């Protein structure tokens, strides 16, 4: 049941919403008032209206509805059970919090359920600071659909557990990510070199955790995937992360806030763990991995410098990593480009990804 605070805040938000939207529509007509000097009216309005949702969801600690029923996704929705034929997965970092056990998860195919087992698949993980978001079309469907169009590959997007749920801090999302990966390998018969891991924002963080797990936990017997795609990945989950976001010069032209970061860090970090654990916060804890990586970042987002630093550090360790910097773009245009007015820029970045995959994987 919602708290009294959530009820009051929701009432306030709904009551004032029409006036706030009207104010935004009027206020950003002059170019001088826009958050970024190079932005169009469409982008300024899109970001500020989009930010209303994120601020509201953070303030009330919104819980995204999750179900294992297909709903409107129909045959595109599949249920993935925890791997039962790989006992080696029931140890190590995946069992680092004894109360968190693997659960069945849902996943959605984009653009449709493949008519036969695919030869090559993109496994994409949505963003949302590990506390928001989902795999369904209305939650995070635009980016995976466009990615599938440009690469001509099916995209499977898992509905991993969010840390606002009970017993769902780390390593719940990692358990779910590995389960989805094993599903592609064991159930669908896709070879590991033909699996491409992809993730936006927190989903990018999850991809890095999976790659670290596959690299470090050799006893698990799981091979590395063919490539990794990181769209505005969330890299810093330390105590300083929220303050760093709020103090950033680009905070006016981004919807990622310190409050959202603090909420995500608080819920995702297991009780008693340090905030800078290598599996949670990869910035400054870079590692060697044989999988080639592609990183997309917006040059107007509050964590752009994190991305640049991470790429430089990963290159210094000898990793194969390519970065795409999108001028004037805020956080995660892969998922939100259609809302923020960055459709062309998002598609150009995805097209650059296609060329990257053609080079490192080949089946594109």
Which is more confident, 41 or 1?
Answer: 41
Q: What pTM did the predictor assign?
A: 0.96
Q: Are residues 110 and 221 in the same domain?
A: yes
* Vertex 208 angle, CA 248 and 165, to 5°: 80
Whether the CB-CB separation of 56 and 255 falls below 8 Å is answered with: no
CA dihedral in degrees (224, 163, 125, 243; nearest 10)?
-100
User: Across-strand partners of 321?
Assistant: 293
23, 39, 60: which is the final residue of a domain? 60
Same domain, 302 and 351: yes
The pLDDT assigned to 6 comes to 87
Name the pLDDT band for 248 (thresholds 50, 70, 90).
Answer: very high
* pLDDT band at residue 5 under the 50/70/90 scheme: confident
Provide the pLDDT confidence category of residue 118 given band limits of 50, 70 and 90.
very high
Phi, psi of 354 (to 5 degrees): -60, -45
Q: Would you place residue 91 in the very low, low, confident or very high pLDDT band (cuts 50, 70, 90)?
A: confident
Looking at residue 4, its pLDDT comes to: 83
Over residues 313-323, mean pLDDT: 98
Instruction: State the pLDDT at residue 124.
Output: 99
pLDDT tier at 1, thresholds 50, 70, 90: low
> Is residue 283 in some structural domain?
yes
φ/ψ of 37, rounded to 5, equals: -65, -25
CATH number, domain of 286, equals 3.40.50.1820
Q: Is residue 66 assigned to a domain?
A: no
Cα dihedral 310, 230, 336, 297, rounded to 10, equals 30
End residue of a domain, out of 34, 60, 86: 60
Asked if residue 164 lies in contact with residue 131, where contact means CB atoms within 8 angstroms, the answer is yes
- Can you give the pLDDT at residue 3? 82
Q: What is the pLDDT of residues 255-299, one digit of tens each?
A: 999 999 999 999 999 999 988 899 999 999 999 999 999 999 999
Please tell me the total count of domains within the chain.
Answer: 2
Q: What is the pLDDT of residue 90?
A: 81
Residue 25 and residue 124 in one domain: no
Give the model's pLDDT for residue 2: 74
Q: Number of C-alpha atoms within 13 angstroms, CB side, residue 325? A: 13
How many angstroms separate the CA atoms of 47 and 22, rounded?
Answer: 14
| pLDDT number for residue 123 | 99
Active-site residue among 148, 198, 201, 281?
201
Lowest mean pLDDT among 17-21, 22-26, 273-277, 310-314: 273-277
In this prediction, residue 84 carries a pLDDT of 84
Q: Please indicate, yes or no, if residue 65 is contained in any of the structural domains.
A: no
By residue range, what is the domain housing residue 32? 4-60
Asked whether residue 53 falls in the same domain as residue 140, the answer is no
Q: Residue 125: is its pLDDT beyond 80?
A: yes
Specify whether 201 is catalytic: yes
Strand positions, DSSP E, the chain:
77-80, 105-110, 121-125, 155-159, 195-200, 227-231, 293-298, 321-326
The answer to whether residues 167 and 36 belong to one domain is: no
């Amino acid at each position: 049941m919602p708290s009294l605070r959530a009820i009051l805040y929701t009432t306030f938000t709904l009551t004032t919403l029409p006036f706030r939207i009207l104010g935004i529509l009027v206020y950003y007509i002059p170019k001088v008032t826009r958050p970024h000097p190079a932005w169009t009216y469409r982008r300024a309005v899109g970001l500020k209206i989009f930010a209303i949702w994120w601020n509201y969801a953070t303030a009330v600690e919104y819980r995204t509805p999750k179900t294992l029923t297909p709903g409107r996704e129909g045959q595109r929705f599949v249920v993935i059970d925890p791997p039962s034929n790989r006992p080696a997965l029931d140890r190590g970092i995946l069992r680092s919090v004894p109360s968190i056990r693997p659960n069945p998860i849902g996943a959605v195919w984009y653009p449709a359920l493949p008519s036969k087992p695919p030869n090559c698949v993109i496994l994409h993980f949505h963003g949302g600071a590990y506390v928001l978001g989902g795999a369904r079309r209305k939650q995070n469907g635009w980016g995976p659909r466009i990615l599938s169009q440009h690469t001509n590959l099916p995209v499977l997007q898992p509905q991993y557990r969010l840390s606002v749920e009970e017993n769902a801090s780390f390593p719940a999302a990692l358990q779910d990510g590995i389960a989805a990966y094993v599903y592609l390998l064991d159930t669908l018969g896709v070879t590991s070199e033909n699996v491409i891991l992809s993730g936006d924002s927190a989903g990018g963080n999850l991809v890095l955790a999976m790659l670290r797990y596959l690299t470090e936990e050799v006893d698990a017997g799981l091979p590395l995937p063919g490539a990794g795609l990181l769209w505005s990945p969330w890299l810093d989950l330390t105590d300083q992360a929220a303050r760093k976001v709020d103090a950033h010069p680009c905070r006016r032209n981004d919807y990622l806030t310190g409050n959202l970061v603090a909420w995500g860090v608080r819920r995702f970090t297991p009780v008693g763990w340090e905030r800078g654990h290598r599996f949670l916060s990869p910035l400054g804890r870079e590692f060697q991995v044989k999988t080639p990586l592609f990183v997309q970042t917006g040059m107007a987002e509050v964590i752009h410098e994190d991305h640049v630093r991470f790429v430089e550090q990963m290159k210094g360790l000898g990793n194969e990593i390519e970065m795409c910097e999108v001028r004037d773009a805020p956080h995660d245009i892969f998922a939100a480009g259609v809302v923020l007015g960055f459709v062309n820029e998002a598609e150009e970045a995805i097209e650059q990804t296609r060329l990257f995959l053609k080079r490192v994987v080949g089946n594109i």
